[in-house]
Structure 1
Amino acid sequence: MNVDEIIGAVLCEDATPRDFSNLRLPQSYRAGVVRREDVGMFEGMASADKDPRKSLHLQDVPVPLPNAGEALVAVMASSVNYNTVWSSIFEPLPTFGFLERYARRSADAARHDQPYHVIGSDLAGVVLRTGPGVNRWKPGDRVVAHCLSVELESSDGHNDTMLDPEQRIWGFETNFGGLAQLALVKSNQLMPKAEHLTWEEAAAPGLVNSTAYRQLVSRNGAGMKQGDNVLIWGASGGLGSYATQLALAGGANPICVVSSAQKADICRAMGAEAIIDRNAEGYKFWKDEHNQDPREWKRFGKRIRELTGG
């Protein structure tokens, strides 16, 4: 059995849940990984010289079967986000420390501690197998995954999963992430894929849109309402662009901070009007490596008041 047969089943419109259940899983799959042996390769380098293409590898890894509360998913599309970049340049910390700590939690978690880390915190794909206790999802379901992996064994996380003492970012603090042919997730990470989206479109927003929604809209966020001014730094990027769109959709006023004319145009295309191009306006917030310039921040604040009517 190889992964091509799984893809064939996914692309077959007549495939049934039984067809997916009957698929034999391969022994291994191709994944994008960083390796423990490479952790020190960028030490002493300037940030601009830390090239992820030197640390990311494609290799075959063994297929992890889902344990209780887990699902194995055939990945049809994934995406690159800031977790991917941090993982690949081993900053702010190498992710292998996260995997080692997770492995000490239980026998089931021990398999996450490997000499390789399959990274990636987004996916759209099709469920292949589920572990014991999973009732919501079945083989053949088309899904997307958000990146928050929680145990939910503590009451601290029941109202806000980000407060669960065992919350982790899947593919960053756990292994078997989404930049691969297969991925292992908690079943409670899964959501139905919107039928009108392509695989690539469905895979793109999971991490960044969920983060922006939590920060601005959710009951655990800022409680954004109509008429609010919302300052969005890096407004043309993945996280910032969703924050901009959420603000506009909610009747708020996004003040978009960007670093180039091209990025300013992206914000205008989304419908934003209040835009600060910090490079064009010459802001220099730092006098040196350790000291900020309060006069520049005051000038920045004045500019925001000009754009918002005071």
Structure 2
Amino acid sequence: MREIVSTILSGNAKPGDYAALPLPESYRAVTVHKDDAGMFEGLDSWDKDPRKSLHLDEVAVPELGPGEALVAVMASSVNYNSVWTSLFEPLPTFGFLERYGRLSPLAKRHDLPYHVIGSDLAGVVLRTGAGVNSWKPGDEVVAHCLSVELESADGHNDTMLDPEQRIWGFETNFGGLAEIALVKSNQLMPKPHHLTWEEAASPGLVNSTAYRQLVSRNGADMKQGDNVLIWGASGGLGSYATQYALAGGANPICIVSSTQKADICRRMGAEAIIDRTAEDYRFWKDAHNQDPKEWKRFGTRIRELTGGEDV
């Protein structure tokens, strides 16, 4: 890996130089282990410690299949997929890997007693499999997280409807929190030249999710003047949603849980902000019963910010 990284950082390597680099037999990766899956049983979510479940392991480089690429990871990022995986919530991800492994002999590679996690990356292509024509060793890329087979017509107009759609690094193995990642070539996009590796690696999952939900023809088809309710508006997904709403001429109603988070929304340009902690909303009477009066109070507050309109 050291030779690969120094070649990338030299800045003057050619595609042939990358193709000639020998692949290591193994690489370092952040993993969870199958035999740890029950370690947090009986604990509340807040008491589960990812430092106990996450491992830095040396793992074997996976076999490269048709339509795939091996990428040297220069930067990755943490999103809620990785958080859930590390807590084994809402259930351990090894069930995903087992089901994927039954799809085909090639998919069987993913069904392992360890899971290399991570659903974002920016890096450099090292190798491409048969049938890959758009990418070559040395290409600087970012990867989005949607892994699809596209063998069913259901997914041709909207890849999220592919019956075999999975989230890479969450429902598949060999994710981005590692020195090398295995991706499908249709996950790759050119890395923007003006972004650092870290900047390019950060937005993938949350930005594409917010875009799909609000902007795309398969989502809400947001228009100028729309009131858009954004829960958790200062987080990774919510902050992109807020910026899309503002850039598109919509009116984001930002729901946050602290004054610091409210300030983040104001710095993005949002004006309609509800701090649910400061306004003391108690939506649940207990663990099993909601309070309809609180939701009505919440609705009234939203309409105060929208001139009486619904979102």
Corresponding residue for residue 59 of structure 2: 61
Q: Secondary structure at 2:65's aligned position in 1?
A: coil
Q: Secondary structure at 1:92's aligned position in 2?
A: coil
Q: Contact 1:16–1:140 at 8 Å: present in 2 too?
A: yes
What are the residue-to-residue correspondences of 1:285-304 with 2, within 5 Å? 285-304=283-302
Q: CA deviation at 1:15?
A: 0.3
The one of 276, 279, 282 aligned to 1:281 = 279
Paired with 1:198 and 1:14, the residues of 2 have a C-alpha distance of: 17
Q: CA deviation at 1:309?
A: 1.0
Corresponding residue for residue 82 of structure 2: 84
Runs of 5+ unmatched residues, structure 1: none
Paired with 2:215 and 2:258, the residues of 1 have a C-alpha distance of: 28
Q: Secondary structure at 1:143's aligned position in 2?
A: strand
Corresponding residue for residue 259 of structure 1: 257
Q: Secondary structure at 1:138's aligned position in 2?
A: coil
Q: CA deviation at 1:65?
A: 3.1
Q: Contact 2:45–2:87 at 8 Å: present in 1 too?
A: no
Paired with 1:102 and 1:48, the residues of 2 have a C-alpha distance of: 30
Kindly provide the amino acid, as one letter, of the partner of residue 126 in structure 1: V
Q: Is 1:141 equivalent to 2:139 in the alignment?
A: yes
Q: Secondary structure at 1:201's aligned position in 2?
A: helix
Corresponding residue for residue 198 of structure 1: 196
Kindly provide the amino acid, as one letter, of the partner of residue 123 in structure 1: L
For residues 50-100 of structure 1, give each alpha carbon's deviation from its aligned partner in whole angstroms, at most 9, with x where no partner exists. 011100000100001321000000000000000000100111110001101
For residues 195-251 of structure 1, give each alpha carbon's deviation from its aligned partner in whole angstroms, at most 9, with x where no partner exists. 000000000000000000000000100000000000000000000000000000000
Q: Secondary structure at 2:123's aligned position in 1?
A: strand
Corresponding residue for residue 248 of structure 1: 246
Q: CA deviation at 1:186?
A: 0.4
Runs of 5+ unmatched residues, structure 2: none
Q: CA deviation at 1:290?
A: 1.1
Corresponding residue for residue 214 of structure 2: 216
Corresponding residue for residue 34 of structure 2: 36
Number of aligned positions between the proteins: 308
Corresponding residue for residue 97 of structure 2: 99
Kindly provide the amino acid, as one letter, of the partner of residue 223 in structure 2: K
Q: Secondary structure at 1:144's aligned position in 2?
A: strand
For residues 96-141 of structure 1, give each alpha carbon's deviation from its aligned partner in whole angstroms, at most 9, with x where no partner exists. 0110111111111111011100000000000000000000000000
Q: Secondary structure at 1:194's aligned position in 2?
A: coil
Q: Secondary structure at 2:281's aligned position in 1?
A: coil
| TM-score, normalised with respect to structure 1 | 0.99
% identity of equivalent residues: 80
Tell me the C-alpha RMSD between the 2 structures. Answer: 0.5
List 4+ stretches of structure 1 deviating above 6 A. Answer: none
The one of 154, 173, 195 aligned to 2:171 = 173
Q: Secondary structure at 1:215's aligned position in 2?
A: helix
Q: CA deviation at 1:6?
A: 0.5
For residues 136-185 of structure 1, give each alpha carbon's deviation from its aligned partner in whole angstroms, at most 9, with x where no partner exists. 00000000000000000000000000000000000000000000000000
Q: Contact 1:65–1:72 at 8 Å: present in 2 too?
A: no
Kindly provide the amino acid, as one letter, of the partner of residue 67 in structure 2: G
Q: CA deviation at 1:13?
A: 1.5
Q: Secondary structure at 2:183's aligned position in 1?
A: strand
Q: CA deviation at 1:269?
A: 0.5
